[in-house]
Structures are given as C-alpha cells and as structure tokens.
C-alpha cells in the first residue's frame, strides 16, 4: 500500500469508526434548559471518543494494509 493510499484509508476508517463510537455513553440531560435540544448529550466526551477512534483506526488501517500487502486480496486486475 502506498503512503497516499494509507492516508486515504486511515481517513475513511477514522470517520467510519468515529461515527460508530459517538453514541456510546451518550445520555441526555435530566432537565434540559429552555432553548436546548432535549436529546443533546449531557457529557459527550468527544476527546475521549476521538482518542479511542484514533487508536482503533490505526489498528484497522494496519490490518487493511497487511491484508493488501500480503496478497490475500488483490486490488489490481489480473493479479
């Protein structure tokens, strides 16, 4: 896998995992203030979720690169 391919793969995988991690632990406020959306999470913990996403995306990108480089899956016609 090329460096460009790895960067693109990491970016796509990062966002995919981030959107999967976002709902974990999200609890709405018990008494939302006037003007706030009732379903907004009380403590979204975005930095923690971004850190977890970064680690998982790195592992997933490494796994994808390993599978492609090992020849188990070929993305080139005729190989």
Question: What are the pLDDT digits (tens) for 14-58?
Answer: 999 999 999 998 888 888 888 888 888 888 899 999 999 999 999
Q: How far apart are CA 32 and CA 37, in angstroms?
A: 7
Q: Which residue has the higher pLDDT, 33 or 9?
A: 9
pTM of the model: 0.81
User: Is residue 79's pLDDT more than 80?
Assistant: no
Asked if 29 contacts 42 with a C-beta cutoff of 8 angstroms, the reply is: yes
């Amino acid at each position: 896998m090329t460096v460009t391919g790895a960067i693109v793969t990491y970016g796509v995988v990062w966002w995919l995992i981030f959107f999967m991690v976002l709902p974990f632990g999200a609890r709405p406020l018990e008494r939302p203030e006037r003007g706030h959306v009732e379903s907004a999470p009380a403590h979204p913990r975005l930095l923690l979720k971004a850190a977890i996403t970064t680690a998982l995306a790195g592992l997933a990108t490494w796994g994808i690169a390993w599978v492609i480089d090992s020849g188990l899956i070929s993305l080139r016609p005729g190989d």
